[in-house]
Structure 1
Amino acid sequence: MSATLDIDVPRHLLYSDDHVWVDEHVEPAMLGITQYAADQLGKLVFVDLPDVGTHVEVGDQLAQLESAKSIEPMISPVAGTVRYVNNAVDDDAEIINDDPYGEGWIVKIELDDDEPDLLDAEAYEKHIQ
């Protein structure tokens, strides 16, 4: 039995190959890292957030995640302008480990018009197995 079966992959979200989730059902779109990514990183101790107003393209580094094990970039799967950052994760990065799809969101981005090339939940589950 694969350990990934214990990973929560909400059906209403879209996902990148780099383990970033996107909720396009809210304006501006909300982004964070998946439970899989949080589990792989281990206990997060610091998040370097972008400045509000920063414009990002697909593939740009959006944030930097620091755990006891490693420092990893959060790569943007979408193009747009950062409208909000989650100051709660700035104060306590472990919120991301505890609730990656809720209180642990990282940024909200006003998307550019182009459609992002993202995976649905089923495709993401296959990607992490």
Structure 2
Amino acid sequence: MRFTKDHEWVELDGDVATVGITAYAAEQLGDVVFVETPDVGKAVKAGDAFAVVESVKAASDVYAPISGEVVEANPELGDAPETVNASPEQGGWFAKVKLADKSEYDALMDRAAYEAFLQTL
């Protein structure tokens, strides 16, 4: 699993990356009440907003940590957005993206680097 400074995580399986927000991000948001996932077939570019998460505190964009094509969106989040809080790094994933450039994944932080980054906030 790899991480961004915007608190997204990416888990790679072959050339398909599962993307979500970290436990830290979910905790900062508070109770998630709505999630808008990207459309299947959408081309995303690393750094671009590709999903929206709304909590009782605020609405926030979720940024694509890697470039590629959305091949699946999490159907559970429409009816159960609280899954993002309950299981941010497992069941609360947002989308699966067919990876366009593996070097983008390789450039992301590993868990140890992300944990060290969190200590600076």
TM-score, L = length of structure 1? 0.87
Q: Give the secondary structure class of the aligned counterpart of 1:39.
A: helix
Please list, as runs of the form range in 1=range in 2, the aligned pairs for 1:1-129 lying within 5 A after superposition.
Answer: 13-25=1-13, 27-116=15-104, 117-129=107-119
Looking at structure 2, the residues matched to 58 and 81 of structure 1 have their Cα atoms a distance apart, in angstroms, of: 11
Residue range with higher mean Cα deviation, 26-35 or 74-83 = 26-35
Q: Give the secondary structure class of the aligned counterpart of 1:89.
A: helix
Identity of aligned residues (%): 40
Looking at structure 2, the residues matched to 26 and 40 of structure 1 have their Cα atoms a distance apart, in angstroms, of: 31
Looking at structure 2, the residues matched to 89 and 26 of structure 1 have their Cα atoms a distance apart, in angstroms, of: 24
Q: Give the secondary structure class of the aligned counterpart of 2:54.
A: strand
Moved over 3 A (4+): none
Residue range with higher mean Cα deviation, 25-34 or 80-89 = 25-34
Looking at structure 2, the residues matched to 46 and 26 of structure 1 have their Cα atoms a distance apart, in angstroms, of: 30
Looking at structure 2, the residues matched to 66 and 33 of structure 1 have their Cα atoms a distance apart, in angstroms, of: 13
What runs of 5+ residues in structure 2 fail to find an aligned partner? none
Looking at structure 2, the residues matched to 26 and 68 of structure 1 have their Cα atoms a distance apart, in angstroms, of: 36
Shift of 1:50: 1.1
Give the number of aligned pairs.
117
Change (3 A) 1:93 1:26: farther
Change (3 A) 1:27 1:18: same
CA RMSD of aligned residues (A): 1.1
Shift of 1:31: 0.6
Shift of 1:113: 2.5
Give the aligned residue type for 1:34. Answer: T
Give the aligned residue type for 1:128. Answer: L
Greater strand content: 2
Give the aligned residue type for 1:75. Answer: Y
Looking at structure 2, the residues matched to 123 and 112 of structure 1 have their Cα atoms a distance apart, in angstroms, of: 24
Q: Give the secondary structure class of the aligned counterpart of 2:85.
A: helix
Shift of 1:18: 0.5
